[in-house]
Amino acid sequence: MTTLSHTDQTDSGAFWRGKRVVVTGGAGFLGSFVVDRLRARGAEEIIVPRSHEYNLVDNAAARRLVADARPDIILHLAARVGGIGANREHPADFFYANLMMGVQLLHEAWRAGVEKFVTIGTVCSYPKFTPVPFKEEDLWNGYPEETNAPYGIAKKALLVQGQTYREQYGFNSIFLLPVNLYGPGDNFDPSSSHVIPAIIRKCLEARDAGADEIIAWGDGSPTREFVYAEDTAAGIVLAAERYNGSEPVNLGSNSEISIRELTELIARLTGFQGQITWDTSQPNGQPRRKLDVSRARDWFGFEASTPFEDGLRKTIDWYERVRHGV
């Protein structure tokens, strides 16, 4: 069992000094916050590969990236992700792309002698009916919620890979499980966005159009936990510095809200005053999501700090500026 002996409390500046760090997905939503956090913690040599140069689904590209970058640490954030609709439409694409990117890059990192590999998993890996709060030891006690199971299982396979490479080769690979993210820079494309940006966009567009109704998916009863992306980035960087164990670790905010309450809150914050109609022909997704975040706190000192309503306001303000070209 992992204990506090796996925690390295060295000064962050000293830890990152002179290290070459690859952040896959570093130009994306979460990745951009991670890169900023790395710089703030003293990292100077950060490599952010772009998909048009290194398509990590291709093994030759993964091998070439490791050879070109010569990293000491890899933070693997690159993923193909989306909301319930995107997962239902592209289950095979989500499974294949996420599995192959991670499996090949971790293998090539081990072959090249990379010091540490940090895999970012997903809360979608948890069983559909996991006792709340979700504890890491419950990860294998059932099948994930069907609409995002291919994505969740592909990510969970990378946990097994990291554990087996540690067991057989002594490779230092860790695995982190963030809950649903939100924040400035999120994906607001209605065909692939997650629930918070989808609701924000619907409310703002309805408000500006003078519409008296928005349609929300499901019945509003499921609950979710959300963590501000900037907080998650802080947790990832802390884990890279301080955690060297084989057990997966949740990253969350330790709060829970129903989709109905969330939609009403966003409507209030955006100024939409019309009716919310629930389309129960659409799926609810997993019934409840709330993580046990004690491992992250105890093992490497991470606790999310952004109050949910404050984070929502920042996200809405950012998207308003983007919409109006400010």
Q: Which residues are catalytic?
A: 151
On the CB side of 112, CA atoms within 13 Å amount to: 23
Residue 313 is encoded by which pair of tokens? Answer: 């306001």
Phi, psi at residue 14, to the nearest 5°? -65, -35
Query: Among 163, 164, 200, 194, which residue's Cα sits nearest to residue 180?
Result: 194
Exposure class string for 199-221: b at 16+ Cβ within 10 A, else e: bbbbbbebbeeeeeebebbbebe
Phi, psi at residue 256, to the nearest 5°? -145, 140
Question: In 105-233, where do the E strands start and end?
Answer: 116-120, 173-178, 180-182, 213-217, 223-224, 226-228
Question: In 261-301, where do the E strands start and end?
Answer: 275-279
Query: Among 21, 38, 17, 19, which residue's Cα sits nearest to residue 74?
Result: 21
Distance of alpha carbon 67 from alpha carbon 59, whole angstroms: 12
Q: Residue 45: beta bridge partners?
A: 20
Q: What radius of gyration do the chain's Cα atoms show?
A: 20
On the CB side of 125, CA atoms within 13 Å amount to: 29
